[in-house]
A and B are shown apart, each in its own frame.
Chain A
């Protein structure tokens, strides 16, 4: 079965970890993840600048490893990302910002990518809130 997973909460929210464990369980059950879509505060999990305390789970790093390991399509909403200061090289240059904090494996793209993922998937599972 094909899953699309949307994450609305930042890395420090428990729902972010829940989304990660769910996504891992999806692949462990031999289902497919057609796209991960990071929306609203979820875009913070794609930032390369998040520093997690050593005795805490580094959720942004775990997401990055997960997406890299399984070569998943990790899309970050561009409108949500820009307003939260999550920029790739191209956007940092476009808006004359001092640095970029988003790179591979993440792609900045529009909300249409969520719509497209929902069309391609059998299930859309959203994670957000606490």
Chain B
């Protein structure tokens, strides 16, 4: 059973991202949207944690939220638009939003 975890809170305000990474199953993926994309901010603990998992982590980002914050995602991260978000929610068995 694969789950897409959707996060929208900034990783600098709470521990949702680290909790999510802790419970993430091997078939699961993360979609960062809204302020959660700040996890890609260079030279931060959040970015380093993600980069360290580049080989094993399926990480998606909502393109418009990354652009709105003028962030440059690393090559290993996949960028999606809204149709892509819908496609991901079909592809994964469940979508769990960290409200």
By a beta-carbon cutoff of 8 Å, the part of chain A in contact with chain B is 1, 3, 8, 14-15, 18, 21-22, 24-26, 28-29, 31, 123-130
* Closest-CB distance, A103 to chain B (whole angstroms): 28
- When the two chains form their complex, are residues A123 and B95 in contact, meaning their CB atoms are under 8 A apart? yes
Q: Which of B8, B62, B86, B95 is within 8 Å of A130, CB to CB?
A: B8
B8 A24 Cβ-Cβ under 8 A: no
Contact B8 A29 (CB under 8 A): no
Q: Does any Cβ of A come within 8 Å of B87's Cβ?
A: yes
Overall SS of chain A's interface: mixed
Q: A29 touching B99 by the CB < 8 A rule?
A: no
Q: Considering the chains assembled together, what is the distance between the CA atoms of A26 and B83 in angstroms?
A: 7
CA distance A25 to B90 in the complex (A): 12
What is the bound-complex CA distance between A14 and B64, given in angstroms? 12
Interchain nearest-CB distance for A92 vs B (Å): 30
Chain B positions within 8 Å of A26 at CB level = 86
Distance, CA A18 to CA B9, complexed state (A): 13
Q: Find B99's partner among A25, A124, A126 (CB 8 Å cutoff).
A: A126
A129 touches B83 (CB 8 A): no
Contact with A along B63-93 (1 / 0, CB 8 A): 0000000000000000000110111011000
* Residues of chain B contacted by A125 (CB below 8 angstroms): 89, 95, 97
Task: Report how far A29 CA is from B35 CA in the complex, Å.
Answer: 26
**What A residues does B95 contact at CB under 8 A?**
123-126
- In the complex, are the beta carbons of A123 and B34 less than 8 A apart? no
Q: Is B17 an interface residue (CB 8 A)?
A: no
- Do the beta carbons of B34 and A22 come within 8 Å of each other? no
A125 to chain B, nearest CB (A): 5
Q: Contact between A123 and B89 (Cβ–Cβ < 8 Å)?
A: yes
**Are B97 and A128 touching (Cβ within 8 A)?**
yes
Binary A-proximity of B1-41 (CB < 8 A = 1, otherwise 0): 00000001110000000000000000000000111000000
Q: Is the CB of B99 within 8 A of A129?
A: yes
Contacts of A3 in B (CB 8 A): 89
- From the candidates A31, A124, A128, name the one contacting B86 in the complex (CB within 8 A): A31
Besides A18-B34, A123-B90, 4 new A-B residue pairs in contact (Cβ under 8 A), listed by A number:
A22-B85, A29-B83, A29-B87, A125-B97
Q: Which B-chain residue is minimally distant from A125 (CB atoms)? A: B95
